[in-house]
Structure formats: C-alpha cells, structure tokens
C-alpha cells in the first residue's frame, strides 16, 4: 500500500517542484490530487509521466487522504490547513504560519527527524524558511562535534524565493536595461533587482532587522539548539534560483578546518566542493535541480580562537522548500504512518 497525497498550491513554483520530487524519489503514492485556487481550476501539472488536472481547494474533501503538502501563502493556509488536519490528513506546511507554534514540529530531516513524531498534537508539521533549511544542514554535524556558540550569516537569496512574480520582475527588468524605450519599475521588490542587490527581505521589525533575518534566528534555535546565538543579514540578489550564504561560526572548542571538511563530507544531504583554485567552489547556477546542500571555502577564522568560515549554496526551491517537505513526508511515513 502507498499513500494518498494532496499537493495544495500545485500550480506555483514550489507546488510543481513538490510533484517533480515525489516522482523523482519514487515516493509510494497510491493516489495523488493537485489542488489550486478556483482561478487556476483545470490547469494541467506534471507528476512523473502523468498529467494531473488541478481541483478546487475550496471544495476539496480531505477525508481519507494521508498527507497534504501545502505550498500556498499563510492567509490561505490559515483557512485550509485546519480543515485538512481536522479531517485526519497530516499537513506538511511550507508557509511561515505554524513554524513558531510550540505544538507544531519544525523539521529538517537531516537535523531533527525525530521531531516529526510531535505532529499528532495538531496533525501539522512545519517546513522551515528556505535560508534556514540549508544552513542548519551545514551546522548540525559541526555542532555535534564542537558545539556552536555563535553564527554570523550573510545571505545572497535568489528571486525565486519571492515566487514567480519575483522571477518575472528580474527577467523583465534585465531586458529593459538593454532596451532604452522600455521601463520596468520595481513592483515585487522595493528597488530595481536587475544588476543590483537589495538588503531587504520581508518586513522591517522594531529593532531594525527584517522578518527574514528574525526567522533565521528563531528557526535555528527551534530546530538545532536554543543556546546558539545567531545574527543575520539577508540580501536579495539578481539570481533566478539558488540561495547562497557566507557563514562565520564560533565554536566552544577548536575545530580544525581539515576535520570540519571531513565531517561535512560524511554528513547527510551535503556535498563538499572545496578546492583552493579558480572555480574550485560551487555557485548558485551549478546547484539548480540538485538535492544537495553544497559547501565550499572552508577555512579557519584567524580573528577567533575557535572560528570557521564557509560558503553554503543550495537550490532554494528544492532543499529550501519542496525537497524538505517531501523528506518530511518520507520520515512521517517511516516513523508514524508506516504504509508503503
């Protein structure tokens, strides 16, 4: 027996990627439903070699379905996730709505897979923010070895993190730069994104940080260790897909860069590409479509007694969203539902 799986938001970037990854990883599916808003009703989406027509989320009955992977905004999730969960269907939610709820596990399977078992309180599991997900995959094996005290992270986040509108805006503005009669003013972003970088993701908070930066702090504490101090600067860059992060990590004890490299090479979900030569590192363009979180530029920080620097890159539509949700579904199946 396999699972009856629902994809909510199947016509969006992340929803389509969820369908692709379920097929690629040969997730044991008996039946699958693709849901979307009424305006997208009947839109065709691919699932392996099959074509699915989207059904109306507003009228769908979740009774008898095993799990629903949600890839819609927080407002719609607030309305429909409790309906699905109340009907006995376990919700794996990609929005930020439930991430900080103490009764909802926030899970990155390489880091805290056992937390999935806490799903039963609300029948909901939360997927973390894309920038957090790849970072904690890198931090976990190093934390197990030398205990992390503090992390300083600067992110270089692609426009796909802002959805299709963000990707369209970068595309249209880039073309407009070369066409003197065309003008594409900022709409999705606060300033021009083409040939520019914007140190602003999500809304500003009272202390001057943005909510994206706050998310990275709060989620790292919940997923990995509440004792870790973390400060973040999150920047949107003119890259279509793939988030990059420069990490400065301070440990409680000394960790040699060579040992760190060996630890990361053996860690689940990580690929180390770290040669000290031209091109001996990974960039976002090269990680698109891959499952792994890539680590490069591992080196000691000579300004700290116990410090390391590294570069972390991942496909944000995959590990940052759709892949992590499917991995949660796999763990949920293995540890709790036990079908398939």
28 annotated binding-site participant: no
Identified catalytic residue from 89, 130, 287, 312: 130
Cα distance between residue 11 and residue 14, in whole Å = 8
11 annotated binding-site participant: yes
Cα distance between residue 262 and residue 267, in whole Å = 9
334: which 2 tokens? 């293995």
261 annotated binding-site participant: no
292: which 2 tokens? 């792994």
42 annotated binding-site participant: no
279 annotated binding-site participant: no
157 annotated binding-site participant: yes
104 annotated binding-site participant: no
Active site residue 200: no
Size of the chain, expressed as the number of residues it contains: 340
Cα distance between residue 103 and residue 99, in whole Å = 10
Cα dihedral 215→325→336→3 (10° resolution): 150
- For tokens 């969820």, the residue is 18
Identified catalytic residue from 89, 143, 234, 243: 243
316 annotated binding-site participant: yes
Residues 6+ apart with CB under 8 A from 179: none
155 annotated binding-site participant: no
> Would you say 287 and 314 are in contact if contact means Cβ atoms under 8 Å apart?
yes
20 annotated binding-site participant: no
Annotated binding site for NADP(+): 11-14, 39-40, 160-161, 180, 316
Query: Which residues are known binding-site members?
Result: 11-14, 39-40, 99, 157, 160-161, 180, 236, 316
Q: What residue numbers does the annotated binding site for substrate cover? A: 157, 236
Q: Which residues are annotated as a binding site for phosphate?
A: 99
Q: Which residues are catalytic?
A: 130, 243
């Amino acid at each position: 027996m396999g699972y009856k799986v629902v994809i909510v938001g199947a016509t969006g970037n992340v929803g389509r990627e969820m369908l692709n990854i379920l097929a690629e990883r040969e997730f044991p599916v008996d039946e699958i439903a693709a849901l979307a808003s009424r305006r997208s009703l009947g839109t065709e989406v691919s699932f392996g070699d099959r074509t699915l027509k989207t059904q109306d989320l507003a009228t769908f009955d979740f009774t008898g379905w095993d799990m629903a992977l949600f890839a819609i905004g927080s407002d719609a999730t607030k309305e429909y996730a409790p309906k699905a969960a109340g009907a006995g269907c376990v919700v794996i939610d990609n929005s930020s709505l439930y991430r900080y709820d103490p009764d909802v596990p926030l899970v990155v399977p390489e880091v805290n897979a056992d937390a999935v078992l806490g799903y039963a309180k609300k029948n909901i599991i939360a997927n973390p923010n894309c920038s957090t997900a790849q970072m904690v995959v890198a931090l976990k094996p190093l934390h197990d070895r030398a205990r992390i005290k503090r992390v300083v992270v600067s992110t270089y986040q692609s426009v796909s993190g802002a959805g299709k509108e963000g990707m369209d805006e970068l595309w249209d503005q880039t073309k407009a730069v070369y066409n003197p009669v065309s003008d594409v003013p900022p709409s999705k972003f606060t300033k021009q994104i083409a040939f520019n970088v914007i140190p602003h993701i999500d809304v500003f908070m009272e202390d001057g940080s943005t909510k994206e930066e706050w998310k990275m702090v709060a989620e790292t504490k919940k997923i990995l260790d509440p004792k870790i101090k973390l400060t973040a600067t999150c920047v949107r860059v003119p890259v279509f897909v793939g988030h990059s992060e420069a990490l400065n990590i301070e440990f409680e004890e000394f960790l040699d860069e060579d040992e760190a490299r060996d630890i990361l090479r053996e860690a689940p979900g990580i690929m180390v590409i770290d040669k000290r030569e031209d091109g001996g590192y990974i960039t976002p363009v090269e990680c698109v479509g891959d499952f792994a979180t890539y680590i490069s530029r591992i080196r000691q920080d000579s300004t700290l007694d116990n410090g390391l620097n590294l570069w972390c890159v991942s496909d944000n539509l995959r590990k940052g969203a759709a892949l992590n949700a499917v991995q949660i579904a796999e763990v949920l199946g293995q540890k709790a539902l036990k079908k398939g």
